[in-house]
Structure formats: structure tokens, C-alpha cells
Amino acid sequence: MDERRIATMSRITLVVQNMMMVTEFYRDVLQLKPIFDLQVQPPQWIEFNTGSCRLALQVASRVDGVPSTYSKIVFYVDDVDEARKELLERGAPMGEVEDDGRFKYCEGQDPEGNKFQISNRPA
């Protein structure tokens, strides 16, 4: 695995309680451009272009057992299985590789329990 590849941050995900209020803040106050929306009611997921990576907002009711202050950094990798294997060899706690039919991803955590994800979904 190319060392630089894991350093490519593609998305930061914030879990929010009030999707409309937080969406309005990032869209209207910070003037970030929405680039992806699930288009469901009530809104559950939206992504903004920050210029360098995406900022995703996910409504808390879609995430079981995590606090409302939960956040996750997502790193792009070409090969999720290979990246997971190498991260495990380096001592990173990693979950199983998931495949939703479009993208593969795998959850991990740092020594303090902060979540991150590796994914082959490009930014």
C-alpha cells in the first residue's frame, strides 16, 4: 500500500441531532456547497464540498449507540482489503470489511477510541 494513499482524507462525518439547523449553518453561514443529499424526508444525510474533502452530516437516529458528538474521519484507499490487512499488521484495531454493493469500507479506531474509516468511495 502506498504510504501517501492512506493519508488522503476524503470525508469527515458529523452525527447531528437537528439536521435542518446544522445543514443551514454549514450551507448559509459557512457557505459550503451541498454536493450530495439522500433526498429523503426527513433529511438523513447530506455532504458538502469543503475544497479539500467532503463534510457529511448524518442524522443521529440513523446511528445506533453513538453519542450526538460522534465524528468519523474517512480515508480513501484503492484496495480496502489490502489496506485493512496492512493496518492490522501495524497494530490498528480494525473491524470487518463491509460491502454495500457500491463501495467497500472498514471501520477502525485510534488508541483513544476515535473512529476512522477506510473506503474505496472517492471524495
Site of grid cell 476512522: 116
Tell me how far apart the alpha carbons of residues 88 and 14 are, in angstroms, rounded to a whole number: 25
φ, ψ for residue 22, nearest 5 deg: -70, -40
Read off the C-alpha cell for 74: 474517512
Residue 13: CB partners within 8 Å, gap ≥ 6? Answer: 56, 57, 58, 71, 72, 74
pLDDT of residue 1: 47
pLDDT of residue 95: 97
- Domain count of the fold of the chain: 1
Read off the C-alpha cell for 88: 492490522
Per 3-state DSSP, the chain is made up of helix, strand and coil in percentages (nearest 5) of 25, 35, 40
Residue 107 has pLDDT above 90, yes or no: yes
pLDDT of residue 6: 67
Lowest-pLDDT choice from 10-14, 38-42, 117-121: 38-42
Each residue of 22-38: pLDDT tens digit?
888 889 977 889 998 87
Structural domain harbouring 72? 3-119
Q: What CATH number is associated with residue 15? A: 3.10.180.10
Each residue of 42-94: pLDDT tens digit?
778 999 998 888 999 988 775 666 665 677 888 889 999 999 999 899 888 99
pLDDT of residue 25: 82
Residue 119 has pLDDT above 90, yes or no: yes
pLDDT of residue 48: 93
